[in-house]
Chains A and B, each alone.
Chain A
């Protein structure tokens, strides 16, 4: 699938050339090649938090699955990653970037939810023996969908590069703190929202919310949990006293909570227009042609995901 905005791509490619080289100054040549080819470099968005923005595309051979944002947080004693990358190769690039920056142990690999673009890089960290941290519902979601995701990813990027599911070793039921040494991260397990296994992270020291896919910027949101639930969780997250957020897709860093406005507008349009369609007796197949069309043109990949979002919303709301 093509990115809808070629100008965006071109600009990102330019950034990629610069930052990719800088951030990977201490990598091996091979690691540098990997990191350079697929991702923009890692930007230090707040003291000790490094994020690389993914491409607004679907996974394919050219991007190697590097389509979601990934990052890492460096404490006094240890490192945590926020998501593992969208493929084994992408995970290796993330690991190389960490190693280029610090030799501290990678103690936590946080898996924000079950979608493949966030978890398939996990095998790249097995040698570090970290805790793989996830929502209490993550193991079940991975068990149900893992094989299917893997087959699809292998078709998209090739078998050797795809990676696999790694079972979480540390589960979060509601909230949990993890300590990187003088740096406490607060992990929150959310009720069904973007998916049913969403985990967000707050770094209090820097006032940063690592929202992963609870926050989409630029790329069209994908709904795979609960529309009403997502709007509710978004309200709660907006109440956090952090001035900065890292979305799962979009720029490496955005202002918080103002950057939630686009997502909220989209989800509210989906909610009110799907409800109205159901009330008018519009069928599920017709609804995809009438709901949320004012959002077209405001998001990358809109035509690839919006129809499915309407289907999901309809399915949820028709039982209200």
Chain B
């Protein structure tokens, strides 16, 4: 599918971000480096998958601030916080604010790469789910109001007879609506239809 995942590295220390980029490359991952949070924000587009490695202590906008900006913009890129040992309280705050993980300098490369892999995986899943959801919503929008009513009653477990009673139409008409709904939503079976409706609600 679409684009390959990228590891976005933000650290004010050039050696650190360069060495991280080298480490990612050695593991076969694409990496892009930024010297500041602002530089990243100027460059990044939401549709680019991957994860973020963020130094919590930086001049200008620090890691925590960037995290809240991303949250405001509804960018859901997973964030791995890196920090020196004295920054534990800040790291805890970052985690509470929804960071994916937190790792102390200097890094254990296996550990860091493991986190990065998992973060990329999570991001990919999320993006697939989102795509499915958008597709579903697009299909749902093709239903007429009457078909929506029939769909809601079907998912609620009502029989055709009951639906015809509720809507004041014949059973035959109900069956015709139902067939249109199944077709428009590309549902293979009743159970498939119900599952899709429920997962779309949860998303």
The answer to whether A and B assemble together is: no
